[in-house]
Structure formats: C-alpha cells, structure tokens
Structure 1
C-alpha cells in the first residue's frame, strides 16, 4: 500500500500557503514531535531549510529507507527538498530552527563553498575536542532565538548576521573534519548553480549541454567542475538527482515503471530500469516491493 507523498510548503503538518521570503522560525523539538507521538513521517519541504539542535536524548533520522542514529549533543541540517522523517525518544530535548531557502541564498550569495556544504544532509557531533565550537554555536543560537522573539529595528539584518556566524562556525567544524579543501570559488559557484538548475527542472531534466549553456560555460568545463568536486561527470550528477526522484515516485505513488521513466524524461523505460539497478542494486520493482514490505 502506497504512503502519501508528504510535501509541505510550511512546517510539518502545515498545509497552509505562506509568504516565505525571509521566513525564520524557532520552536522546541517537543512542540511538534509530541503531537505526533514522537514519530515524524517522511516528508519534504520544497522551500525550507532546517537546523535540529539536540542537547539531550537521542532519536533516529529516517532517510531513503535508512535509519541514522542521532545522539546528543549534535546538530543536524536538512536542506530544502530533502526527504526525511524522525523517530525520537520521549525524553529528547532539542530545538528546531527553520529558515527559507531564499534567506540562505541571500546571506551566502558570495560564499559558494558554504552553500555547497548546506546542500546536503549532515550531522555534526560534538566531543571534548570540539566543545568550544559547540559553545559558540549555542551562544549564537540563543541570540537568534531572542532576536526572533523581539520586533526590533533592523531585525532582519541582525538575523542575517547571526545566521552567517552560525553557519561559518559549522564550516570551521567541517574544515577540521576534512582538511582537503582545494576547489576555487568559481568552481564551487558553477557547481552550486548547476545543482540549483537541476532542482528547478525536476522531475524533468535537461541535457548536459543545456545546463552548461545556462551557466555560460562549455559541457567540457562543466564536466571538469563536477569531477573536481564530486568525482563524477555532469551526466552522473544529473542521474543522481533523477534516481532520487524515482525512489520517491516508486514508494509514494502508484505510477508504473514506464510512467515514472517518462515523468523523469527517460525516453526508454528499459534504459531507466538498467540505470536504476546500476545505481541502487535493485530493479525499480524490487526497490518498490522491498521498501513497502519494510513498512
């Protein structure tokens, strides 16, 4: 039996349309989780970015049929348009900051490396070794929460500055974890714009040369960009997005394999099935049946 594809413009359970713009929201983790018996079904937010700050207790992040342990103290970032769900223990203590994708794009318009980091799900764990960074992050979080609650002059400017500092601290932590930083800003800018271009056209995708034209670079240049950052060709990056979309359609709709292939702009359903199996190890039908049986 298919589950519903839960896609919220606002917060979880909120089906009302909102003017997002510079949307910024804060709430305790228990506020919404308790309403749903500490189990949040898999869903996505098309225009919202979320930060989960867990200070005590633990839970599970559910993503792509996998369960990933979340153990305090940790910070979890969930980018826009990312399928995710949760199972929390009832004694978990934490907070959730939600901001619009537009807000993120505004404050980091000139920082492509940070935008690239914020484009993927990541859990930041803390130990004695990086406890000073955690303290800095919690200090900034408290300043953000206070700023949200008040209605002062220059509120938006203050929030932008505080979030910039917050994400820069996460970037510093990321740098400690991975010393191999090499790509220049232009390469990162092209790659981020490429990813953004793919997301805009989903579920359909365009040819590599068309995305390259949008960026005003050659397909060869775009391939070099992708290889430098993710060790994949531009076509493989596009295919990764398509396979992620295919998984959603397989689990959350009753569309046939051929219908899904055409929705994703594959002219040959057989080729789509071969690619899906190559990427996942399962045929589309096997994947669909396996996930449903686990539910």
Structure 2
C-alpha cells in the first residue's frame, strides 16, 4: 500500500466542486452531506484511533446510488463537532471495495491532511461532517464521488470513477471554516473587499497607485486565542497583485486551508514574507485581516514565486481559523 503524505493530501489533490447532494435529516442541528446507510454499516475497523486501521467488510461491497457513512467509533461527545464548512485535519485509508485491499493512506505518524468539510471532492472531510474529534468514520461510495477524477489521476490510482471504494477517516482536529469575528470598518487606502457566503474575498481597487508602506487592518476582529510568533496557524488566504489585480495564490480556490508558521523570512528560511508575518502575529483566532505588503516587506529579490514579479505590491486577505 502506498502512503499519501500529509503535504500531498493538503496541496497536491486537486479539488473540484461536486453537484449538491440531498443529505440526511439534521443530527443535533448538524446536517451532513452523506447519510448513514446499511452498506457503510457493514464496515468495521480494528486498531486504535490515530493508528493505521485494518478495515473489514464483505467483498465485493456495492456502492448505493449515493455515498453512505457509518461512525465506527465516536469521540464520546468530548471533542468538537465537524460542522459543514469547518476545517478538518484527518488521517485517511482508502480500500478497494472489490478486493478489500488497502490502496493508499496518509502517514499516521505525521500531522494528518487538512481539508474543508464542504460538498466537494475529495470528500475526505465531507465524510467527517457532524462527527466529533476522536471519531473514526467509514464511507462507501464510488471513487468518482468520494475521491474525484482529478485526485485519482494526480495520485496515480488504478481506479475507475465507478469503482467502489471504502474510506476510513480518523477525525484528528477541527477548526473554523471562515473568520467569525465582529465586522470592522475598513479605513481608506485599502481595496474594497466583498465576501462570498462561504467567506472567500473579492477585491475592488479604486486607486491604481499602491501605498509605499506596510498597511494592516482587521476586517473582522476575532475573540479566540492570540497568535504568537512561532505558532503554526491554520489559515485561509487570498493573495492579489496590486498592479494587475490578479489573484496569484488562494487557499479558497483549492478549498484546502494552509498551516503556516507565524515567523518572518528574516528569521527563518521556512517563514513568511515579513509583511505577512507582521500582519498575523498578535491577531486572534476568528479574525480576518487585510495586509498591503510593499516590496520592502515582501519577498527578497529573486526569491518570489514566478507568479509574483520582483518589486510587486501584494495584497493579502487571510482568515485565522485556528492555532495548531
């Protein structure tokens, strides 16, 4: 069985929105995408939570018209619940529904893979909707519905879209899906920001001339824990070039939040551009922050990705979803 490292699961699996499905009835006020079902209830798994499971189910297992889930073991009600749209860190093992063989898995010794629990493929976090942290959940469905054609191809899996798969998901942790802080009044000198219902920002630039100094404001003021230098922070962000008004990077477009260290490139090779780090440190979980980052606070000359020309002024809007 091949391993699916957390960084591949988080960044390499392409996400494609799927058609909306009719979910089951609300469970304690939480309405998941996938319903419980008799096929998924046939799946059991041995092994402790957080360790690689050994699944057992009659083969060949047949996928129903819609994907099904079954909670093999729950979090005993002590953990946070995975509400639809939340950010979830999971460990995953995928099995062939015909042979019962394990195909690919995350590294259970690692930190897990991070996804948004929305109706999308790959559906690894969607499977966890309405479960609690510490739960182990099984899903039965087709590879196309639960993994998605893009992820199947990108990870070299020998699966057709209509092949049945069984997926075991261990729910390790859950964070906000978008900033939930109190709205703030944006001062002059920034682009105007309009938020979609899911939280992703849209930008309108009234002034073609960017500021020359670092400018930071809160769009939403959160009330959670305060980010300290060196914290690993769970974020959604969008980066835009002021000159072209083009998005050069966005976790929203991947539907996969990022985990970034609150440390500057000036202090660590693995850090953030200085302006981003300064905008992040001291803010609270639940906040949404906009930062206009001039070249002096951005990438060192020659170090920027190809999507960011040297000398660019960048604008970031980021949502602080949690601290690892």
TM-score (norm 2): 0.24
Which structure shows the bigger proportion of residues in strand conformation? 2
Rg bigger for which structure? 2
TM-score (norm 1): 0.25
